[in-house]
């Protein structure tokens, strides 16, 4: 009754009369067919009944229209939302982001070629995709395409001048191109943005070592180890500087041993440790480690790795007085070298060469070992013939 009274401005008396007739809201009044009968039943003049009935019908129509408009508006809004979502999903920006994410998965699986294709497509679709440019630069470094990496990282840094990862990566590319001043500048800029960024600190140490600025290199690496004394890679790098740069063999051995303890599964550390055992005169350990690595036949080891370990085994056995075992290894070394064909040299023999030159041994052994390092450092047919000749003259 209150609703009818408020909606049609009907006084309490007439509203009560309508209520007695079962009319309690405007919907009920609008649905009445016989207005005269309602007038007689309620005692309300027919003119007022017709007036209120007409008003009720009009209000019902307006209410229904508003509901229809609201429903249509909602449907249109939902359709527009779907369309906008579809267009966004299909937009170059969104497609570029999806391609970039897929490329990252391929990169994590070490599928660098396909990852590069993904990031190239991503940057073509959206040239402002900074992440794609940065990651494209990174994978180009992995593929050894350093000039192209610099170009990609230049673009990444143009889009985000505070991307310390891209500064560090560009430093890596410059270092591999032997542009050491540019590399150091990039590493310093990365460290300025992110003071404790380990890849940049590590890269700076490697660059300084490449310039034979060993004290400064050690300072950079020591700063990193103060932040994280469980960083196996930094121990390995510092060990390499001690071993191949400063010829401080014991320091090198201890650092590489620490790295291998932190990551016992690293075959690289195990090989480095065998080499360091040789130059610290731990001959039994060196030969045992080297022979075990060769016998293991890990498919991930390169011919250069395998020949380096054979050399460590031979040198250790010769210097430990085990000539028969050494001769057996020499035969296998020569046969392995000849069957390897052309291979990429990825070992440094500076530390070994300095050790052989300075260690007390007979002249023939020294000549044979030095010629062997020369063979591994610069493979050639004439050198292998000289190694064979010197091997036949060993005491």
80 & 127 share domain:
no
Q: Could you read off the pLDDT of 49-88 as tens digits, one per residue?
A: 777 778 777 877 877 888 888 888 888 878 777 666 654 5
In sequence order, what DSSP letters do the residues of 81-106 get, joined into one string? HHHHHHHHHHSHHHHHHHHHHHHHHH
262 & 389 share domain:
yes
Last residue of a domain, one of 66, 90, 114: 90
Say what the alpha-carbon torsion angle 134, 135, 137, 140 is, to the nearest 10 degrees: 180
In a domain, 239, yes or no: no
Q: Could you read off the pLDDT of 273-303 as tens digits, one per residue?
A: 999 999 999 999 999 999 999 998 777 788 8
Give the range of the structural domain holding residue 78, as residue numbers without chain letter. 2-90
Last residue of a domain, one of 161, 182, 205: 161
pLDDT for res 6: 57
pTM as predicted: 0.74
In a domain, 356, yes or no: yes
In this structure, are residues 16 and 42 in contact, taking their beta carbons and an 8 Å threshold? Answer: no
pLDDT for res 379: 75
379 & 262 share domain:
yes
In a domain, 210, yes or no: no
pLDDT at 154 > cutoff 90: yes
In a domain, 227, yes or no: no
Alpha-carbon gap, residue 4 to 23, rounded angstroms: 8
Number of structural domains in the chain: 3
Last residue of a domain, one of 137, 161, 185: 161
Quote the mean pLDDT of the chain.
88
Return the ∠ at Cα 311 (arms to 305 and 314), rounded to 5°: 145
266 & 390 share domain:
yes
111 & 9 share domain:
no
264 & 389 share domain:
yes
In this structure, are residues 60 and 90 in contact, taking their beta carbons and an 8 Å threshold? Answer: no
Query: Residue 131 belongs to a domain with what CATH number?
Result: 1.25.40.10
381 & 269 share domain:
yes
Burial category of 16 from C-beta neighbours within 10 Å (exposed 0-12, middle 13-18, buried 19 and up)? middle
Alpha-carbon gap, residue 344 to 336, rounded angstroms: 15
* C-alpha dihedral sign at 160, 165, 168, 174: negative
135 & 52 share domain:
no
Query: Residue 345 belongs to a domain with what CATH number?
Result: 1.25.40
**φ/ψ of residue 281, rounded to 5:** 65, 25
pLDDT for res 2: 44
pLDDT at 107 > cutoff 70: yes
118 & 85 share domain:
no
139 & 20 share domain:
no
**Better-scored residue on pLDDT, 45 or 246:** 246
Burial category of 288 from C-beta neighbours within 10 Å (exposed 0-12, middle 13-18, buried 19 and up)? middle
Contacts of 170 (CB under 8 A, 6+ apart): 137, 149, 150, 153, 154, 157, 186
Q: Could you read off the pLDDT of 108-143 as tens digits, one per residue?
A: 999 999 999 999 999 998 999 999 999 999 999 999
Return the ∠ at Cα 200 (arms to 195 and 205), rounded to 5°: 110
């Amino acid at each position: 009754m209150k609703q009818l009274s408020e909606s049609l401005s009907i006084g309490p008396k007439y509203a009560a009369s309508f209520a007695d007739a079962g009319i309690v809201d405007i919907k009920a009044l609008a649905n009445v067919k016989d207005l005269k009968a309602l007038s007689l039943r309620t005692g309300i003049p027919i003119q007022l009944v017709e007036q209120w009935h007409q008003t009720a019908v009009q209000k019902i129509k307006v209410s229904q229209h508003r509901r229809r408009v609201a429903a249509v508006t909602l449907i249109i809004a939902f359709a527009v939302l779907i369309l906008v979502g579809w267009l966004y999903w299909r937009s170059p920006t969104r497609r570029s982001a999806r391609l970039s994410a897929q490329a990252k998965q391929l990169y994590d699986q070490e599928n660098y070629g396909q990852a590069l294709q993904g990031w190239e497509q991503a940057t073509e679709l959206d040239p402002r995709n900074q992440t794609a440019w940065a990651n494209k630069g990174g994978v180009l470094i992995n593929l050894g395409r350093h000039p192209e990496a610099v170009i990609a990282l230049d673009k990444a840094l143009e889009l985000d001048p505070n991307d310390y990862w891209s500064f560090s990566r560009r430093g890596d590319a410059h270092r591999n191109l032997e542009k050491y001043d540019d590399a150091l500048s990039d590493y310093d800029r990365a460290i300025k943005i992110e003071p404790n960024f380990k890849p940049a600190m590590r890269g700076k140490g490697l660059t300084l070592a490449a310039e034979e600025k060993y004290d400064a290199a050690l300072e950079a690496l020591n700063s990193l180890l103060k932040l994280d004394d469980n960083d196996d890679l930094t121990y390995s790098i510092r060990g390499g500087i001690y071993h191949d740069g400063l010829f401080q063999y014991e320091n090198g051995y201890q650092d590489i041993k620490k790295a291998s303890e932190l990551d016992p599964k690293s075959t690289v550390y195990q090989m480095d440790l065998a080499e360091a055992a040789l130059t610290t005169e731990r001959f039994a350990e060196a030969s045992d480690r080297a022979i075990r690595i060769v016998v293991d036949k890990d498919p991930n080891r390169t011919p250069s790795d395998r020949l380096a370990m054979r050399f460590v085994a031979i040198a250790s056995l010769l210097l430990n007085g085990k000539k028969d075992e050494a001769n057996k290894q020499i035969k296998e070394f020569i046969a392995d070298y000849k069957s390897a064909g052309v291979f990429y040299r990825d070992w440094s023999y500076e530390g070994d060469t300095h050790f052989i030159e300075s260690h007390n041994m007979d002249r023939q052994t020294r000549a044979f070992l030095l010629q062997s390092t020369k063979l591994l450092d610069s493979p050639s047919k004439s050198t292998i013939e000289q190694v064979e000749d010197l091997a036949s003259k060993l005491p």
